[in-house]
Structure 1
Amino acid sequence: MSDDRTDVQEFFTARAADWDRRFPDDGPAYAAAVAELGLPEGGRVLDAGCGTGRALPPLRAAVGPLGVVLGADLTPAMLETAVRAGRDRDGRLLLADVAALPLRSGSLDAVFAAGLIAHLARPEANLRELARVVRPGGTLALFHPLGRAALAARHGRQLTPEDLRAEQNLRPLLARSGWRMTSYVDEASRFLALAVREA
């Protein structure tokens, strides 16, 4: 049986160098999704599965110079690409697995996660770990710059009823993991589910 972590690392290591060139127009979609998190000035936020760090500049802009921005990713090559792009100036990069974050419980105001959920080995446990590091009342954004149907079409797949990002699957999954979904958008140009950390 293959190791899920190794599979994810291999997938992203092979794509890290040209990742940003493949998706050059996603910046405004990231910024709009970050804006919907409603981060406070001076807030503390984690970009979980940050990849090349495309969310770090809008996250930094949202929390301001006194805020804390962290980017965690499992794949060294993605973090190296983030550094080459200068995005480490907007947030501290951590080589870390979202299954076991090196962060104190309740230490964050929010988690932003772009494209992460499809790569989680144990979605319920992993979302529970994200909940652990967020204070009660803090927020989670599950984002993708393409909606489910557009993403499936890009990869030559059909949407299936088991798709984790389908609202009827995601809402109870989040609830079991310590989150309450507050909004759900799935349109051609973006996917964005927002949730609040339950007390």
Structure 2
Amino acid sequence: MTDDRTHVQDFFSVRAADWDSRFPDDGPAYTAAVEDLRLRRGDAVLDAGCGTGRALDALRAAVGPEGTVLGADLTPAMLETAVRAGRDRSGALLLTDVARLPLRDRSLDAVFAAGLISHLAHPGPALRELARVVRLGGQLALFHPVGRAALAARHGRAITDDDLRAEPRLGPLLAASGWRMDAYVDEDHRFLVRAERVG
């Protein structure tokens, strides 16, 4: 295991038990972001970096009982919290690195990723791996329940243009990884980027 993966696991392991209680009002924002992904009944979707599985119920509602919902996370404690919350009933949970997914090429219709991009030590390869498992024309949603400025303020920092999630940086990164950015929203109450898998 690389130091980067260990750092992520250490960060989230100590926060897993009370993660949901720290952000109790995020549910509607997750639901709205899933709706923006425009999933269809029967689709196969991955929640990449699913954490405690807060998006899994909304994803299951979107694809229906005939659809496939997967949640992948690197941190066992986060997945254990998801199971305790009963969210494993909405999707199968995978303990795995999103940069090395145990999935077939083009086996998914969409990927939902809440907060993931900020925790990727090597975002390019991870975004290429997500592209590998999504069919052409499939969708990617990069989401956070607060925007860049609000998140920076929460951590006592100023927003900067070299932030990976800044549109001038993220657009080319997505393009180089097999995605075309279709929408970019960065408001105090939400960050949402939607991209399409292109050839």
Which amino acid in the other structure matches residue 122 of structure 2? R
* Aligned 1:115-126 pairs, distance under 5 A: 115-126=115-126
1:3 Cα deviation after fit:
0.4
Partner of 1:78: 78
* Aligned 1:47-66 pairs, distance under 5 A: 47-66=47-66
1:159 Cα deviation after fit:
1.3
Which amino acid in the other structure matches residue 72 of structure 2? A
Partner of 1:161: 161
* Aligned 1:130-145 pairs, distance under 5 A: 130-145=130-145
Percent identical residues: 75
Distance, in Å, in 1 between the alignment partners of 2:99 and 2:197 is 17
Which amino acid in the other structure matches residue 64 of structure 1? G
> Cα RMSD (Å) of the superposition?
0.7
Partner of 1:179: 179
* Structure 2 SS opposite 1:57: helix
* Structure 2 SS opposite 1:15: coil
Distance, in Å, in 2 between the alignment partners of 1:104 and 1:123 is 20
1:161 Cα deviation after fit:
1.8
1:160 Cα deviation after fit:
1.7
1:158 Cα deviation after fit:
1.2
Q: What per-residue deviation string (whole Å, max 9, x for no partner) do you get for residues 149-178 of structure 1?
A: 000000111112210100010100000000
Which amino acid in the other structure matches residue 113 of structure 1? A
Which amino acid in the other structure matches residue 63 of structure 1? V
Distance, in Å, in 1 between the alignment partners of 2:57 and 2:131 is 23
Distance, in Å, in 2 between the alignment partners of 1:6 and 1:159 is 27
**Which ranges in structure 1 are unaligned for 5 or more consecutive residues?**
none
Q: What per-residue deviation string (whole Å, max 9, x for no partner) do you get for residues 4-39 of structure 1?
A: 000000000010000000000100000000000000
